[in-house]
């Protein structure tokens, strides 16, 4: 049994501990952290909040390099109990929910898209409610649909998307808002345009061409695009995307006037992007067009989005336009392709190999 003196001592120690945890860095769980945006997000958050405070997770196996920068756990968003356990074990305060099935992948496999984007999100929302977590879960311009005004699309407008991805993201936005109003879950979201990054490959979207084109330009100096030449869509560079996402994540609750915000940086068509690549990389770069089912998806999305509220409420301020994006992508990827070419040239040809090595296959 504790004496009264010991009890007082214990409670004041407990109080002191509670005080110190209320001023410590938040512990952040990132789901889907091996996707196109996840690894950059994890690295940015780790450099701000400390390696140990950011728990990366996915259902895929990380490479050694991905494991080396801090904790990584298996987290299937379809399994509520495992999410619950991670939140308890790691003392999670905030969740950045990046697990999703993107637009093209969702049309290829609607059942998977519905399951991950709807049931997975509901699990995340329930965990956020149970443990009073702050939850940032991105939405997309794909939440708009064919009857939405296409230019300067406002935050609040007609939203009748006709893809599994779009429908599931509207569900996410509305459910997040409902849980915020009804249960006080601090849900935050932003509607990204297509995101362009040299860090990781894109994961099955309609805007993937705007990343693939750089790899093709550097490797073959030609590209066959799955969208038509004139299909203009909103886009943003990964640096602006991650900076903006962290700004919204950290924004004081009282500065937010809504739960979901449009964010826009620039807009271009495949032909306009190709012209900029010719200007900055090679005048001989060739693009041709073989539109497929992704054209029908792109045709339902805005050409530009209005993002006045994001700029005003939490400081969205993208720095990369089309020309800066092309410059950065070429600067980052050119050395990779140059080194690969040098390595393949220095590989001995079969004629130069000793007989045992040639017969090994
Ligand atoms: N990349 C882009 O251009 C845009 C992305 N977004 C949104 O940003 C977020 C992140 O997107 P990306 O990184 O591009 O997606 P991605 O497709 O590259 O990555 C998604 C990740 O989710 C993981 N995942 C799939 N099923 C899972 C499950 N059951 N449990 C746990 N993880 C699972 C995958 O393994 C993958 O690593 C998504 O919500 C997406 O809708 C929105 C607009 C544009
Ligand atoms: C715009 C998005 O949400 C994504 N890049 C996709 O094309 O599906």
Cβ proximity of 330 and 214 under 8 Å: yes
Q: Residue 158, exposed/middle/buried by CB under 10 A (0-12, 13-18, 19+)?
A: exposed
348 contacts: CB under 8 Å, gap ≥ 6: none
State the distance from the centre of ligand 2 to the C-alpha of 105, rounded, in angstroms: 10
Which atom of ligand 2 is nearest to 142's Cα? 3
List 164's β-bridge partners, or say none. none
Pick the atom of ligand 1 nearest to 196's CA. Answer: 3
Return the ligand 1 atom nearest residue 105 CA.
17
Asked if residues 185 and 176 have their Cβ atoms less than 8 Å apart, the reply is yes
User: Looking at residue 3, what is its pLDDT?
Assistant: 45
Q: Which residues contact 14 (CB under 8 A, 6 or more apart)?
A: none
**Is any ligand 1 atom within 6 A of the Cβ of residue 180?**
no
What's the half-sphere exposure (Cβ side, CA atoms, 13 Å) at 3?
2
Q: Is the CB of 302 under 6 A from ligand 1?
A: no
For residue 106 and ligand 1, the question of a CB distance below 6 A is answered with no
Task: List, for residues 224-264, the tens digit of each pLDDT value.
Answer: 999 999 999 999 999 999 999 999 999 999 999 999 999 99
| The Cα angle at residue 56 between residues 39 and 260, in degrees rounded to 5 | 75
Residue 236, sorted as left (phi over 0), alpha (psi -120 to 50) or beta, turns out to be beta
Kindly provide the residue ranges of all beta strands, DSSP E only, lying in the chain, ordered along the sequence. Answer: 28-31, 54-58, 72-74, 94-97, 134-136, 139-140, 186-192, 194-196, 222-225, 233-237, 260-262, 266-268, 286-289
pLDDT, position 351: 55
At 357 the pLDDT is 40
pLDDT digits (tens, 9 = 90+) for 283-314: 999 999 999 999 999 999 999 999 999 999 99
Residue to mutate, 30, 33, 34, 37, ligand 1, most ligand atoms under 8 Å from C-beta: 37
CB neighbours of residue 207 within 10 Å = 27
Kind and range of the H or E element at 210? helix 209-220
* The pLDDT of residue 353: 53
Q: Is the dihedral of CA 201, 203, 204, 210 positive or negative?
A: negative
Q: What are phi and psi of 55, to 5 degrees?
A: -100, 115
- Residue from 35, 103, 109, 266 whose mutation best tests the ligand 2 pocket (most atoms within 8 A of CB): 103
Q: Helix crossing, 322-346 with 209-220: angle to 10°?
A: 40
Nearest atom, ligand 2, residue 195 CA: 5
Q: How far apart are the first and last CA of the chain?
A: 74
In this prediction the pTM is 0.91
Dihedral sign computed on CA atoms, order 90, 79, 67, 33? negative
The complex scores an ipTM of: 0.99
Q: Which of 163, 206, 231, 266 to mutate to test the pocket of ligand 2 (most atoms within 8 A of CB)?
A: 206
Residues involved in catalysis = 165
CA-based torsion, 69, 70, 73, 77: positive or negative: negative
Per-residue pLDDT at 348? 63
- pLDDT at residue 354 is higher than 70: no
- pLDDT band for position 339 (cuts 50, 70, 90): confident
Determine the Cα–Cα distance for residues 123 and 153; give it in Å rounded to an integer.
30
Residue that wins the pLDDT comparison between 22 and 175: 175
CA of 102 to the centre of ligand 1 (A): 7
Instruction: Give me the mean pLDDT over the 45-49 stretch.
Output: 98
Query: How many angstroms separate the CA atoms of 195 and 39, rounded?
Result: 14
Report the SS3 class of residue 205.
coil
């Amino acid at each position: 049994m504790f004496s009264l003196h010991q009890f007082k001592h214990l409670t004041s120690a407990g109080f002191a501990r509670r005080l110190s945890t209320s001023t410590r860095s938040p512990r952040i769980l990132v789901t889907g952290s091996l996707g196109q945006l996840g690894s950059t997000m994890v690295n940015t958050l780790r450099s701000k909040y400390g390696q140990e405070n950011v728990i990366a997770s996915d259902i895929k196996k990380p490479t050694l390099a991905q494991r080396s920068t801090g904790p990584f756990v298996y987290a299937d968003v379809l399994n509520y109990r495992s999410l619950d356990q991670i939140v308890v074990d790691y003392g999670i305060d905030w969740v950045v929910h990046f697990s999703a099935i993107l637009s093209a992948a969702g049309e290829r496999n609607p059942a998977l898209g519905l399951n991950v984007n709807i049931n997975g999100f509901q699990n995340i929302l329930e965990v956020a409610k149970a443990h009073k977590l702050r939850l940032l879960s991105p939405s997309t311009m794909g939440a708009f649909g064919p009857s939405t005004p296409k230019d300067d699309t406002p935050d609040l407008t007609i939203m009748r998307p006709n893809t599994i991805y779009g429908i599931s993201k509207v569900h996410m936005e509305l459910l997040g808002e409902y849980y915020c109003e009804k249960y006080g879950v601090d849900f935050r979201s932003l509607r990204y345009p297509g995101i362009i990054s040299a860090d990781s490959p894109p994961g099955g979207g309609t805007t993937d061409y705007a990343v693939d084109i750089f790899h093709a330009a550097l490797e073959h100096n030609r590209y066959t695009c799955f969208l038509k030449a004139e299909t203009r869509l909103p886009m943003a560079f990964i640096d602006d995307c991650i900076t903006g996402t962290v700004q919204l994540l950290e924004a004081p609750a009282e500065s937010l006037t809504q739960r979901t915000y449009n964010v826009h940086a620039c807009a271009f068509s495949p032909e306009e992007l190709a012209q900029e690549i010719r200007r900055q990389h090679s005048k001989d770069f060739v693009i041709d067009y073989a539109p497929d089912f992704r054209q029908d998806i792109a045709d339902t999305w805005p050409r530009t989005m209005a993002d006045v509220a994001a700029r005003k409420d939490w400081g969205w301020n993208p720095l990369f336009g089309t020309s800066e994006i092309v410059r950065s992508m070429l600067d980052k990827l050119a050395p990779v392709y140059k080194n690969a070419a040098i390595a393949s040239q220095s590989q001995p040809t079969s004629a130069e190999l000793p007989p045992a090595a040639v017969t090994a296959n």
